[in-house]
Amino acid sequence: MEHSHAVIGAGPSGLAAARNLQRHGLAWEGYELGPGVGGLWDIDSPRSTVYESAHLISSKHTTEFLEFPMRAEVADYPSHRELLAYFRDFAAHFDLTSGFRFHTEVTAVTPHPDGGFTVTSTGPDGAREARHASVLVANGTLSEPNRPVLPGRFDGELIHTSEYKRAQVFAGKRVLVVGAGNSGCDIAVDAVHHAASVDISVRRGYYFVPKYVLGRPADTLNQGRPLPPRLKQAIDSRLLKLFTGDPVRFGLPKPDHRIYESHPVVNSLVLHHLGHGDITVRPDVERLDGDGVRFRDGSRAAYDLVVLATGYRLHYPFLDPALLRWSGTGGAPDLYLNIFSPAHPDLFVLGMIEASGIGWQGRYEQAELVAAYLRARTEDPAAAAALEARAAGPRPDLSGGYRYLGLERMSYYVNKDAYRRAVRAEIEALAAPAGAGR
Ligand SMILES: Cc1cc2nc3c(=O)[nH]c(=O)nc-3n(C[C@H](O)[C@H](O)[C@H](O)COP(=O)(O)OP(=O)(O)OC[C@H]3O[C@@H](n4cnc5c(N)ncnc54)[C@H](O)[C@@H]3O)c2cc1C
Q: Output the tens digit of pLDDT for each of the chain's 438 residues.
A: 689 999 999 999 999 999 999 999 999 999 999 999 999 999 999 999 999 999 999 999 999 999 999 999 999 999 999 999 999 999 999 999 999 999 999 999 999 999 999 999 999 999 999 999 999 999 999 999 999 999 999 999 999 999 999 999 999 999 999 999 999 999 999 999 999 999 999 999 999 999 999 899 998 987 778 899 999 999 989 988 888 888 999 999 999 999 999 988 999 899 999 999 999 999 999 999 999 999 999 999 999 999 999 999 999 999 999 999 999 888 899 999 999 999 999 999 999 999 989 999 999 999 999 999 999 999 999 999 999 999 999 999 999 999 999 888 889 999 999 999 999 999 999 987 654 544
What is the structure's pLDDT at 222?
A: 72
Cβ atoms of residues 319 and 341 within 8 Å: no
Ligand 1: list residues with CB < 6 Å. Answer: 8-14, 31-34, 39-41, 45, 47, 49-50, 54, 56-58, 63, 105-106, 138-140, 142-143, 183, 318, 351, 359
Spatial distance between the Cα atoms of 412 and 355, rounded to a whole number of angstroms: 9
In this structure, the residue with its CA closest to atom 13 of ligand 1 is 56
Q: Which residues, in sequence order, are bridge partners of residue 137? A: 8, 349
Phi, psi of 265 (to 5 degrees): -95, 120
Q: Do residues 266 and 182 lie in contact, with contact meaning Cβ atoms separated by under 8 Å? A: yes
| Percent of the chain whose pLDDT exceeds 70 | 98
Q: What is the DSSP letter of 336?
A: B
Determine the distance separating the centroid of ligand 1 and the alpha carbon of 299, expressed in angstroms: 38
C-alpha 254/C-alpha 249 separation (Å) is 10
3-class secondary structure per residue, 230-256: HHHHHHHHHHHHHHHCCHHHHCCCCCC
Contacts for 265 with CB less than 8 Å, ≥ 6 apart: 180, 181, 182, 185, 206, 207, 208, 209
- In three-state form (DSSP H/G/I as H, E/B as E, the rest C), the secondary structure along 63-125 is HCCCCCCCCCCCCCCCEHHHHHHHHHHHHHHCCCHHHEECCCEEEEEEECCCCCEEEEEEECC
**pLDDT at residue 187 in the model:** 98
Residue of 240, 47, 37, 276 whose CA lies nearest to 142: 47
- d(CA 75, CA 79) in angstroms, rounded, equals 8
Distance 14 CA to ligand 1 centre (A): 9
Residue of 82, 95, 98 lying closest to 42 (CA atoms) = 82
Type of residue at 279: I
Residues in the chain: 438
CA of 148 to the centre of ligand 1 (A): 22
Which H helix or E strand runs over 290?
strand 285-290
Please tell me the distance from the alpha carbon of residue 9 to that of residue 136, in angstroms, as a whole number: 9
Cα–Cα distance measured from residue 43 to residue 165, given in angstroms and rounded to the nearest whole number: 8
Q: Which amino acid is at 109?
A: V
In sequence order, what are the residues at sequence separation of 6 or more whose Cβ sits closer than 8 angstroms to the Cβ of residue 277?
none
Ligand 1 pocket: which of 142, 144, 219, 370 to mutate (most atoms within 8 A of CB): 142
72-79's contacts with Cβ under 8 Å and 24+ in sequence apart are 76/211, 76/217, 77/211, 77/217, 79/54, 79/55
Looking at 153-268, list the stretches that DSSP marks H as alpha helix, in order from N- to C-terminal side. Answer: 182-192, 229-244
Q: Give the closest residue to 139 by CA, choosing from 25, 45, 55, 64.
A: 45
Rounded to whole angstroms, how far apart are CA atoms 392 and 95?
Answer: 36
Q: Rounded to an integer, what distance in angstroms lies between the CA atom of residue 325 and that of residue 328? A: 9
pLDDT at residue 48, as a whole number: 98
Q: Which atom of ligand 1 is nearest to the CA of 46?
A: 47
Residue 31 CA, ligand 1 centroid: distance in Å: 15
What's the whole-model pTM score? 0.96
- 73 vs 395: CA distance, rounded Å: 42
Could you give the count of Cα atoms lying within 13 Å of 104 in the half-sphere of its Cβ?
25
Residue 279 DSSP symbol: E
Distance between CA atoms of residues 163 and 119, nearest Å:
29
Amino acid letter, residue 411 = S
DSSP secondary structure code for residue 298 in this structure:
S
Residue 117 CB coordination number (10 Å): 24
